[in-house]
Amino acid sequence: MTRADLMGKLLAFVARLITGAQGHWQGCPPEALQRIYFANHQSHLDWVLIWAALPGELRAHTRPIAAKDYWTSSPFKHWLTREVFNAVYVNRQRTDDQDPLEPLVQALEQGDSLVIFPEGTRSNLGEPQAFKSGLYHLAQQFPQVQLVPAWISNVQRVMPKGEVVPVPILCTVTFGAPMQLGPDEDKRSFLERARAAVVALRPVAG
Amino acid sequence: MGFLTQLRADQQIALLFVIVFGVLALVSVGALLLSLREHGPRWLAGHERFKRDLRAVWIGITVFWLAWVSGPLGATLLFGVFSFLALREFITLMQTRRSDHRSLLAAFFVVLPAQYAMVGLRHFDLVSVFIPVYVFIAIPVISALAGDPAHFLERNAKIQWGIMVCVFGLSHAPALLLLDFPGHAGRGAFLVFFLVMVAAVAQIVQEAMSRWFRRRPVARAISRSFSYRAWGLGALAGAVLGAALYWITPFKAPQALVMGFIAAAAGTLGEFVMKALKKDAGVQYWGNQASVTGAVGLLDRIAPLAFAAPVFFHSVRWYFKLTP
């Protein structure tokens, strides 16, 4: 076992200890199919929570998206995202000659699954913000990949913005039924439908 | 009986566990055999509930066995972990605000380890006052420093309560294990056994009596089954069982009767208070499947113990004038 594997096991254990990181597979079973998971974004911990809620054998091929400038800025951050999480790096600054989705497309062509937060930034309000169009473009280019909505509960209570130490509070990740881009669905209605699918997974009790 | 008194304390305790596990195994096998026959849906529902309770008893006894086998350090660590899980469940169900963050961190990562360290080191005088006196003052101070006056008293009360039940109450179970009576050294496990048996029997009798009598409930909005008569009979049954078990404790029979009554009454009332808390938080079981939390229902199981253990512990120490 390498040091990265060990670190991964440790992080998953800590995430479970602090939050329980329970995965509720409501709409589909956890299978080794190529998928794009998309979820609401409230905290830095969102990715770790989804990752810890996945069964161990799916973790290696399910990759997060990381901002290149931030996550390669120190050797430790770079090691963590590259070796442990196998992250896909994207540039936050848009350059004219490069498509920002290019690294994601490459990862999907390799057969990996992705976790994306289509709101783009963390929202502190209960309702997720409007989705960015990346999800639509990926759905267009890879119609065979399942799009799985997910709702992460309670995580904003674990680590509010500006705090560094997490408080132990139980969290759940609810996975919904896979959806697909309709044959002649336009961008706006698809993104609204995707957002509604995520919001619909929110448990009633809060 | 002569043979029993010749055994060393640890041999007696080992024998006790063998007997308890044996009885449990018999009950489990019996339940399995019964379930092989065909039954109506009502019986099946009752059987489901019984199976769930039986599983909880198995887990509970195994925990106590592990606590005893692993010695003082292991026992405190084990119950510390349970406290942590219970407090996590409690806080999840309460609405906390962003400004509670520091207070919660203090509760989980300072108060809890400190309390269990004191139990492990047998500073029992400090164990009894650390949370009610010092933490009671410290938590509101941390809260006030966060600078959010909204619902101040309510937020602090929730955190204080969580600490009282999940940390203070539960930490008295390993404290009992470690309590040394003069001439009764190393037999704390019998005291815990006494406490658990008495509280459990009181609860079962209370349930059965409330079904039997169908009295008007005292507080319908909180519990449909709680009535003074059923409660009194439950506590009395606990006391009688306590008196019958006096020979495993350092008590004489009348003392065991009183101690049994105290433990049984505190345990069943604790269960009742927990019901009120649950109703307030809007859950039926703590481990409600439909709730967001994915909580496992640990709080439900420890509630009677968390209430009975401190009262029992304190009255034993006070009456027998034990100093650490």
pLDDT attached to residue B164: 94
pLDDT attached to residue A62: 92
Q: A60 vs B71, which has greater pLDDT?
A: A60
Q: How far is A206 from chain B (nearest CA, A)?
A: 7
Q: Is B101 on the interface with A (CB under 8 A)?
A: yes
Q: Name the band, by pLDDT with cuts 50, 70 and 90, for residue B134.
A: very high
Which residues does B268 contact at the CB level (< 8 Å), separation at least 6?
Answer: B199, B202, B203, B206, B231, B234, B235, B238, B304
pLDDT attached to residue B11: 81
Minimal Cβ distance to B101: which of A22, A24, A167: A167
Q: What is the mean pLDDT of residues B61-86?
A: 86
pLDDT attached to residue A126: 67
pLDDT digits (tens, 9 = 90+) for B171-202: 998 898 888 777 667 777 788 888 888 988 88
Mutant choice from A22, A124, A169, A201 vs B, greatest count of B C-beta within 10 A: A169
Distance in angstroms (rounded) separating the CA atoms of residues B116 and B290 = 33
A-chain residues near B295 (CB < 8 A): 170
Q: How far is B42 from chain A (nearest CA, A)?
A: 29
Distant-in-sequence contacts of A130-135, Cβ < 8 A, 24+ apart: A130/A191, A130/A195, A131/A38, A131/A191, A131/A192, A131/A194, A131/A195, A133/A187, A133/A191, A134/A100, A134/A101, A134/A104, A135/A36, A135/A38, A135/A191, A135/A194
Chain-centroid distance of CA A180 in Å reads 18
Q: How far is A170 from chain B (nearest CA, A)?
A: 5
Question: Looking at the predicted structure, is the pLDDT value of residue B98 above 80?
Answer: yes
pLDDT attached to residue B114: 96
Q: Is B282 on the interface with A (CB under 8 A)?
A: yes
pLDDT attached to residue B283: 65
Residues of chain A with pLDDT under 70: 96, 123-126, 204-206
Q: Name the band, by pLDDT with cuts 50, 70 and 90, for residue B291.
A: very low
pLDDT digits (tens, 9 = 90+) for B103-130: 999 999 999 999 999 998 989 989 999 9
Minimal Cβ distance to B292: which of A154, A163, A168: A154
**For residues B28-65, b (16+ Cβ closer than 10 Å) or e, as one string?**
eeeeeeeeeeeeeeeeeeeeeeeeeeeeebeeebebbb
Q: Name the band, by pLDDT with cuts 50, 70 and 90, for residue B323.
A: low
Q: Is B201 on the interface with A (CB under 8 A)?
A: no
Question: Looking at the predicted structure, is the pLDDT value of residue B290 above 70?
Answer: no
Residue percentage of chain B with pLDDT more than 90: 31
pLDDT attached to residue B94: 82
Q: Is B290 in Cβ contact with A169 (below 8 Å)?
A: no
The neighbour count for residue A82, using CB atoms within 10 Å, is 15
A-chain residues near B96 (CB < 8 A): 157, 169
Question: Looking at the predicted structure, is the pLDDT value of residue B34 above 70?
Answer: yes
Q: Is A203 in Cβ contact with B294 (below 8 Å)?
A: no
Q: How far is A47 from chain B (nearest CA, A)?
A: 18
Report the residue of chain A nearest B96, measured CA to CA: A157
pLDDT attached to residue B133: 94
pLDDT digits (tens, 9 = 90+) for B226-240: 888 888 999 999 999
3-state DSSP of B43-103: HHHHHHHHHHHHHHHHHHHHHHHHHHHCHHHHHHHHHHHHHHHHHHHHHHHCCCCHHHHHH
pLDDT attached to residue B284: 59
Q: What is the mean pLDDT of residues B294-315?
A: 81
The neighbour count for residue B213, using CB atoms within 10 Å, is 13
Q: Is A126 on the interface with B (CB under 8 A)?
A: no
pLDDT digits (tens, 9 = 90+) for B258-267: 999 999 999 9
Task: Identify any residues that bridge with A63 across adjacent strands, giving them in sequence order.
Answer: A114
DSSP per-residue string spanning A143-204: TTSEEEEEEEESHHHHS-TT--SPP----EEEE---B---TT--HHHHHHHHHHHHHTTS-T
Q: B291 vs A43, which has greater pLDDT?
A: A43
Distance in angstroms (rounded) separating the CA atoms of residues A167 and A19 = 8
A-chain residues near B109 (CB < 8 A): 165
Q: Is B292 in Cβ contact with A205 (below 8 Å)?
A: yes
The ipTM assigned to this model is: 0.80
Q: Is B92 on the interface with A (CB under 8 A)?
A: yes
Which residues does B219 contact at the CB level (< 8 Å), separation at least 6?
Answer: B226, B276
Which tokens belong to B276? 């009120």
Q: Name the band, by pLDDT with cuts 50, 70 and 90, for residue B74.
A: confident
Q: Is B295 in Cβ contact with A169 (below 8 Å)?
A: no
Question: Looking at the predicted structure, is the pLDDT value of residue B292 above 50?
Answer: no
Task: Identify any residues that bridge with A66 across adjacent strands, giving them in sequence order.
Answer: A89
